[in-house]
Chain A
Amino acid sequence: MTTTTLLDVRGVTMRFGGLTAVNQVDLTVGQGEIIGLIGPNGAGKTTFFNCLTGLYVPTEGTVSYRGTILPPKPHLVTRAGIARTFQNIRLFANMTVLENVLVGRHTRTREGLLSAVLRGPGYRRAEAESREKAMELLEFTGLAAKADHLSRNLPYGEQRKLEIARALASDPGLLLLDEPTAGMNPQETRAAEELVFAIRDRGISVLVIEHDMRFIFNLCDRTAVLVQGQKIVEGDRETVQSDERVITAYLGAPFDGTGSTASEAEK
């Protein structure tokens, strides 16, 4: 594959005291790719995401985006062009749907305190543009009719969509989705798949954490598997599905009859 590399993660390690949550992980995401990240619970997927977006400062390793190394500050990462959603939805609950998306525009607008007080033509133009862009994103995610609702009052599936719309508002080149279909029914999951493809068609690469294997293998060009903080395999559907280490990680090792666990238990 000769696409330009967008995200280049090298040797990222995250230790919390004695616990190594993420260990020497390398990952690249190319322009226009959809990459999956799977692994059992507690494998360190979300920690890895937090290292990418600056919420955690990785103990070792570098994260570079379009060739420049990212500083570990969330707002600078977003400004550079990486936006994310959260595993447990983190909307601004008491703001309206439109306002949530407008907050996402923050890095792409410059209007400061003084222009907000003076409300000159430049301010009003920028504000109108932000609104237009936000409404366009709400149309895109199908939430335009609910623009004036408080985001806390949206049903669960729409809250997930709103988080994506809010992330897209920052004009990212790469979108990180942390379990976008958690808690969704099959139809909603199907709709989410469509949405991710539509996002890729806008020229945005996607890196997605998910537990729903069908979702992952339908969507992703490549999938990386993280087990106990280490990337054990990366590749297309066949590579991942046929890898014994992946099966072991998810289903456990086959019982060989002479295992030590049985004798341990007898003692």
Chain B
Amino acid sequence: MTTVRSTETTPVVPIPSGPARILTAAGATGTAASAFLAWTWTSGFPGDLTVYGYPGGLQWLTLAGALITLLLTLASYHLPGLRWTSPSGGNNGILYAALGAAATTWFTLIAISAELGGLANLEPGGWAAGATSLITLLGALGLPLDRHPRGAGQGITRYLGLRLAKVERPLPPVRELPSPIEVLLIVVAFATGLYAITFGLDTDYGELFTAYLLLAGFTVAALTKSGLVTRLRALAVKHRTVTTGAAFAAAAAFPFTQSSDQYTSVATNILIFATVALGLNIVVGLAGLLDLGYVAFLGVGAYAAALVSGSPASPIHVHFPFWAAMLTGAAVSIVFGVLIGAPTLRLRGDYLAIVTLGFGEIFRITMNNLNGTTGPKVTNGANGIPRIPDLVSPGFTIRGLHIPAFDFGRKHSIGGLELGRFSNYYLLMLLVTAFVVLVFARVGNSRIGRAWIAIREDETAAEAMGINGFRLKLLAFALGACMAGLAGTVQAHVSYTVTPDQYTFAEALPPNSAFLLAAVILGGMGTISGPLVGATLLFLIPKKLEFLSDYQLLAFGLALIVLMRVRPEGLIPNRRRQLEFHEADIPDQAASPETALTKAGA
């Protein structure tokens, strides 16, 4: 066995590795089987866990966790056909998977006991699941794991005495696959991803969502340790266009998996939130300007669109077609971005943050006061602009081909599948998101993007290299504002009403400036997928934690602290950021090819 620098490969619990592996496999099989038993006697606990022979609700998650553990364990026996799940050949992945299954199972058992009032509510099936998941965990702890030598522990596992190493093992060389098969693998990966995300969105009670998050977190960690994620990422880099296409196809397929508008409305709001977060990432992640009043630009876009929407409450009695309304929102946002940016961007760092915070509040208070009594009558003050009509794309004819008008408020049937109002807006918003992603990707990797990063790294040096700092910062501000404004125009129509209170600095629910910033930092600054993932989680967690009522914000805060403790560089780190935060964990560049060689030779 080769060891990566400054790690050792030893078990946590001293059991010979052979029996430990058997124990893990047997435990995982047992856990999977126990998901088919009744865990409680009453259907009073959501999801109906009382049926023998068929898993329900939370039991599905236990089953999935156990099967993933079993799969990785069997792969460690070098069974033909399973090797792909665990290219790194390490056992840490198995441990994470076992932790995931155990966490999900025990969360369920505790939730049952807590909600129904006592351990007496557990049926033998529940006890079996709890015991087998612990046996799996015990077995996994007995496997030879990649760990830090005593005294050199890193990260959160240090506190548990596990001393697990974060270093990724060098992977054996890839077997060349024909191109179509690689593309197929990407498609399969995205289809799986779509299924997993849809499952998370569709969870209709908080317990299921919490357990889902636990399982998802541990599974992602397990697959990262097993090397599968690295392999998939390599494929994605190789077939960039296919990957981007598959990602958007998967996202566009989402409304077709839904039978009602209940979750497409959530998904639409997530997309709006995520798009604004991505816009903020231009300002914060690329140019390094801390903007605490960014939600104001979403508001500017939304108000601009509302004013020209033909709403009876708007003092301007015009009704722009949808494309013109969107352009208006974006244009007005750019103007406000420049107006606010020009005086504030002469400041740096903390001072800029404070001033932007002030401007964000000025926007909200101004909107509150343009009500006809304390100011000119434009926005109806706190009542906002209600009854915004749905967007209608006008019909037109190109070369004899007639494109009918499209009313976003109506149901449409495509290929026998009903698409409701929110599905329409979801698809429109997806186009906006795609546009913002395109702009971010292309500008980020260009002369302008490099200048932004240079300003972020060292503004004085950047200016000495010929970069007009003020102008480029203003450009970042304006572009970010434009992206938020574009999302705002859709938001105004989706939610029918715009009120000033939707655009505050901090509140329990997104979008607001604090949440936007959190989404960017949590997801990963300077990346595209980071803010998208961060925004999705930050939108879903508070929404799905409503069952905790009074403790909702407490739990949310704890979740944030744990996330930032585990991954300070964000969920999807920028390559650079990762180097910054985990320099000690990454083996010397000179050392890695050598270890890779020995690994390949072994």
Contacts and interface: CB of A to CB of B under 8 A. Distances in A.
Given A75-B467, A78-B466, A106 B457 contact: no
A119 B465 contact: no
Contact of B461 (A86, A99, A126, A150): A86
Contacts of A102: 447, 450
Contact of A116 (B443, B457, B463, B468): B443
Contact of B467 (A93, A106, A111, A130): A106
A53 interface: yes
A90 B462 CA distance: 9
Contacts of B462: 92, 103
Given A55-B460, A75-B466, A106-B466, A94 B450 contact: no
A120 B449 CA distance: 17
Contacts of A153: 579, 589
B468 A127 contact: no
Contacts of B469: 75
Contacts of B466: 74-75, 78-79, 104, 106-107, 170
B26 interface: no
Contacts of A73: 463
Given A90-B458, A95-B457, A104 B447 contact: no
Interface in B279-297: none
A92 B442 contact: no
A112 interface: yes
A117 interface: yes
Interface string B479-501: 10000000000000000000000
Contacts, number: 104
Looking at chain B, what size class is its interface with the partner chain?
20 to 34
B483 to A, nearest CB: 12
B580 interface: yes
B468 A117 contact: no
B443 A113 contact: yes
Interface in A122-177: 123, 126-127, 130, 150, 153, 166-167, 170
Nearest to B479: A113
Contacts of A127: 446-447
B439 A117 contact: yes
B442 A95 contact: no
Nearest to A113: B448
A119 to B, nearest CB: 6
B155 to A, nearest CB: 22
A75 B479 contact: no
B475 interface: yes
Nearest to A80: B466
Nearest to B579: A150
Contacts of B451: 103, 106
A134 to B, nearest CB: 11
Nearest to B576: A94
Nearest to A110: B447
B461 A112 contact: no
B464 A74 contact: yes
A91 interface: yes
B453 A92 contact: yes
A95 B454 contact: yes
A84 interface: yes
A130 B451 CA distance: 14
Contacts of A68: none
B188 interface: no
A109 interface: yes
A225 to B, nearest CB: 25
B438 interface: yes
A163 to B, nearest CB: 9
Contact of B453 (A90, A95, A111): A95
Q: Which of B453, B479, B589 counts the most A-chain CB atoms under 10 A from its CB?
A: B453
Contacts of B443: 113, 116-117
State the main secondary structure of chain B at its contact with A: helix
A207 B481 CA distance: 43
Contacts of A86: 461, 464
B492 to A, nearest CB: 25
Interface hub of B446, B460, B464 (most chain A Cβ within 10 A): B464
Given A75-B468, A117-B443, A90 B460 contact: yes
Contacts of A105: 447
B161 to A, nearest CB: 33
Contacts of B464: 53, 55, 74, 78, 83-84, 86, 90
A92 B447 contact: no
Interface string A53-93: 10100000000000000000111001100011010001111
Nearest to B478: A113
Contacts of A104: 465-466
A254 B566 CA distance: 64
Given A90-B460, A92-B458, A94-B576, A111 B447 contact: yes
Nearest to A130: B447
Nearest to A92: B457
A176 B326 CA distance: 50
Nearest to B471: A75
Interface in A184-208: none
A119 B442 CA distance: 8
Contacts of A123: 446
B442 A75 contact: no
A119 B465 CA distance: 24
Contact of B448 (A84, A107, A112, A166): A112
Nearest to A172: B466
B438 A95 contact: no
Contacts of A130: 447
B22 to A, nearest CB: 45
Nearest to B580: A94
A106 B447 contact: yes
B581 to A, nearest CB: 11
Contact of A103 (B442, B454, B460, B579): B454
B450 A99 contact: yes
A126 B468 CA distance: 20
Contacts of B439: 117
Contacts of A99: 450, 453
Interface in B381-395: none
A125 B516 CA distance: 37
A116 B438 contact: no
Nearest to A119: B442
Interface in B421-474: 438-439, 442-443, 446-451, 453-454, 457-458, 460-469
Interface centre among B449, B450, B460, B589 (most CB of A within 10 A): B450
A106 B467 CA distance: 7
A90 B442 CA distance: 27
A83 B479 CA distance: 30
Given A55-B460, A92-B458, A94-B457, A116 B442 contact: yes
Interface string B556-581: 00000000000000000000110110
A117 B442 contact: yes
Nearest to A126: B447
B448 A116 contact: yes
Given A78-B466, A90-B464, 8 more contacts: A78-B465, A90-B460, A92-B453, A92-B457, A94-B577, A95-B454, A106-B450, A153-B589
14 contacts: A78-B464, A78-B465, A84-B464, A90-B460, A91-B461, A93-B458, A94-B580, A95-B450, A106-B465, A111-B448, A112-B448, A113-B448, A117-B442, A153-B579
Among all A-B residue pairs, the 10 with the closest Cβ atoms = A107-B466, A78-B466, A116-B446, A90-B461, A92-B457, A74-B463, A94-B576, A103-B454, A75-B468, A74-B464
